[in-house]
Amino acid sequence: MSGLGDRIRELMQEVEAAVAESAEAAEAFRVHYLGRKGVLNDLFEEFKQVAGEEKKVLGRELNELKSRISARLEGFQASHSKQREDKSGEEDLTRPTGAWPTGSRHPLSLVRREILSIFNRMGFAVADGPEIEDDWHVFSGLNFPPDHPARDMQDTFFLGPEVLLRTHTSSVQVRAMETTQPPLRLVMPGRVYRNEAISARAHCQFH
């Protein structure tokens, strides 16, 4: 088994032993493990280079580690939220009058999280790419012929002769295949853009 497996198991023990005695510590835990430059992201990058016979086992362990990190983080956040609620009963004479509005997650964020959770349990990794792309990754690399309607100005937002706002996230497939040997098991969520008339039924940006 590769060294990646050893690191995953070491991190599992590290996560189990972690404590967060404040909301700031919980946020530091999140950034360290789940941030864009965090530990988990580095592991998924290394996982792309793992040999095929090890992918199934390591993929399962990696997803288990991610689930455990998320569970620990939720526990930390819930604990500190409860502490804030316990203190909220104390009257603060310096506080402005009126109730503080409670925010909520956007419906798109909720749906995205649920979809990615399903794919995660099936062993898929999340891949991302730029929204401002070049012609090769959006069209040529996917065998779009030069006269394809999608290349027309009335269908696509071109920012220059070879630069455009991506019309689909399949451009991320091309980028992944340029750096990673198949088989690939990826899901690629994100915003895309089409030159559509904005109405109650359509928009130029969608997911």
Contact 102, 88 (CB under 8 A): no
- Highest mean pLDDT (candidates 43-52, 60-69, 73-82): 60-69
Is the confidence at residue 131, as pLDDT, over 90?
yes
- Whether residues 73 and 149 fall in one domain: no
**Which residue segment(s) compose the domain that 6 sits in?**
1-89
Average pLDDT over residues 1-26: 83
Query: Do both 84 and 13 map to the same domain?
Result: yes
At 189, list the tokens: 């969520």
What pLDDT is recorded for position 132?
95
Residue 110 belongs to some domain of the structure: no
pLDDT of residue 1: 46
Which residue type occupies 188?
M
In a shared domain, residues 138 and 192: yes
Average pLDDT over all residues of the chain: 85
Please state which of the ranges 31-45, 95-109, 114-128 shows the lowest mean pLDDT: 95-109
pLDDT at 172: 93
- Whether residues 143 and 84 fall in one domain: no
DSSP string for 13-43: HHHHH----SHHHHHHHHHHHHSTTSHHHHH
User: Per the domain annotation, does 100 fall within a domain?
Assistant: no
On whether both 2 and 72 belong to a single domain, the answer is yes
Q: Cα(204)–Cα(31) distance, rounded to whole angstroms?
A: 33
Q: How many CB atoms lie within 10 A of CB 118?
A: 10
Q: How confident is the model at residue 81, as a pLDDT?
A: 74
Cα 140 to Cα 146, 151, 166, 189, 195, distances in angstroms: 8, 10, 13, 21, 20
Q: Give pLDDT, residue 200.
A: 87
Mean pLDDT across 118-134:
92
Burial of 158 per CB tally in 10 Å (0-12, 13-18, 19+): middle
Q: Among 7-16, 52-61, 86-95, whose mean pLDDT is lowest?
A: 86-95
Is 111 contained in some domain?
no
pLDDT tens for 149-197 read 888 877 889 898 889 999 999 999 999 999 888 888 999 999 999 888 8
Q: What is the pTM of this model?
A: 0.47
Dihedral of CA 206/129/8/123: which sign? positive
180: Cβ contacts below 8 Å, ≥ 6 apart: 48, 49
Q: For residue 11, give the amino acid letter.
A: L
Answer yes or no: do 3 and 82 share one domain: yes
With bands split at pLDDT 50, 70 and 90, how would you rate the model's confidence at 55?
Answer: confident
Residue 119 falls within a domain, yes or no?
no
φ/ψ of 23, rounded to 5, equals -65, -35
Res 52: pLDDT: 73
What is the pLDDT averaged over residues 73-87? Answer: 74
* 5 within some domain: yes
**Number of domains making up the chain:** 2
Q: For the residues 101-124, what does the mean pLDDT come to?
A: 89
**Which residues contact residue 139 at a Cβ distance below 8 angstroms, ignoring those fewer than 6 apart?**
148, 150, 151
Query: Are residue 83 and residue 1 in the same domain, yes or no?
Result: yes
